[in-house]
Amino acid sequence: MITYRAIELHASTIQIGIVAALYALFPVLLALQFGSWVGKFGEGKFIIAGTFTMVLTSFALIFSNSILTLAIATAFAGVAHLACMVGGQSMVALRAPRENYDRYFGYYTFSAALGHLVGPLIAAAVAGSNGTLPKSTSNAFLLGGLLCIVALAPVIAWRKEKPSVVAKVTNDGTYSAALGLIKNPGIFAAIYVSLAISSVADVLVVFLPLFGSENNFSPYAIGIILATRAGTTMISRLFLGRLSDRFSTYQLLMVSTSVSVIACAAMAFAKTPLSLGVIVFIAGFSLGVGQPLTMSLVSQKTVANERALAVSARLLGNRFGQFVVPAAAGAIAASAGAGGVFIGLAVLLATSLFGASSR
């Protein structure tokens, strides 16, 4: 809906890419610090703070009537989301049984995919359509704010909780500690694969509406296609534990990433909503496998009092990719259209195959 609001404001493709990149800019700067703080204040407090900030951001988006105000609100949404992710992922990493990380991170990311499934559908229904654009993006932002208020109800009691594990005290500083952490075998590879997969998933959400506008697909069709991606992602994550019982983490990463490369390249040549939907169906499954596996890898390769910082280092990589890749995608779209963006995403994923094969 932020993309559609930008289109309503006559933003260029480069400006749309920059707005998307700003979602990740401040999280890039704050991710490691958040990882340090969550070990001091507790995972629950971060989830509450992030959700409350998202409430405020949702209402701010309603009044974003220029590219500048839209960009500012989007940046705050990125910080709010980061706080929720650092708190939530750290909570799973510290409280789930170590031998069942794949399974529990699969459940955790399944819940996120459920939101991605329901969100585009109800947003499209509430916003309406006047052809290729929604009638009211403000209605969708209002609904988002109300949903965040509802989301506070089951977690508000966590404001009194202490950290599950107190963060490791070091004299080296947060950034030096994180740098030493990613030198551990396999950590950097997991972070890079996660960067590529998360960047591709986010850019698809941003540029599929633009691709739809270029090819005269209705917002309803794009909403259904985005929901389809989330639905197949849910399926892959729900059964990730069973897949991990049969195949190694590295086998799953290699195969799923290879399928994603092919699917992203194929999107550029989809000329009907049906063909695009089929391709996105496949991509949703393959992309959905990678993220929980990289969460599991990072958690497995760190000790408990370093785990929150490791989770944050992984999120830093994600946000760095989500900052750089959308801006690059906007530049590609300006010259080659949204279809060119999908080819670029396929290339990015192909480079991550080297990381997936690294032990």
pLDDT of residue 166: 66
Q: Dump the DSSP string for 329-359.
A: HHHHHHHHHHHHHHHHHHHHHHHHHHHHT--
Band (265; pLDDT cuts 50, 70, 90):
very high
* pLDDT given at position 176: 66
DSSP 8-state symbol, 171? S
Q: What is the pLDDT of residue 170?
A: 55
pLDDT in tens, 94-147: 888 877 787 888 888 888 878 877 888 888 889 888 777 888 899 999 999 999
CATH number of 2-154+173-356: 1.20.1250.20
The mean pLDDT of 173-190, rounded to a whole number, is 68
DSSP 131: S
Q: Average per-residue pLDDT in the chain? A: 83
Domain boundaries, the chain: 2-154+173-356
- pLDDT over threshold 60, residue 71: yes
* CA-based nearest residue to 55, from 178, 116, 146, 137: 146
pLDDT at 34 over 70: yes
pLDDT at 266 over 80: yes
Contact 121, 224 (CB under 8 A): yes
pLDDT > 80? residue 207: yes
Cα–Cα dist 232/199, whole Å: 18
The pLDDT of residue 356 is above 60: no
Most confident region among 143-147, 173-177, 206-210 by mean pLDDT = 143-147
- pLDDT value, residue 169: 55
CA distance 63 to 69: 8
Residue 31 pLDDT > 80: no
What is the mean predicted confidence (pLDDT) over 217-236? 85
DSSP code per residue over 107-118: HHHHHHHHHHHH
Tell me what pLDDT residue 276 has. 92
Q: What is the DSSP letter of 168?
A: P
| pTM given for the model | 0.71
Whether residue 183 has pLDDT greater than 80:
no
Lowest mean pLDDT among 154-158, 296-300, 336-340: 296-300
The size of the chain, in residues, is: 359
Report percent pLDDT > 90 for the chain: 22
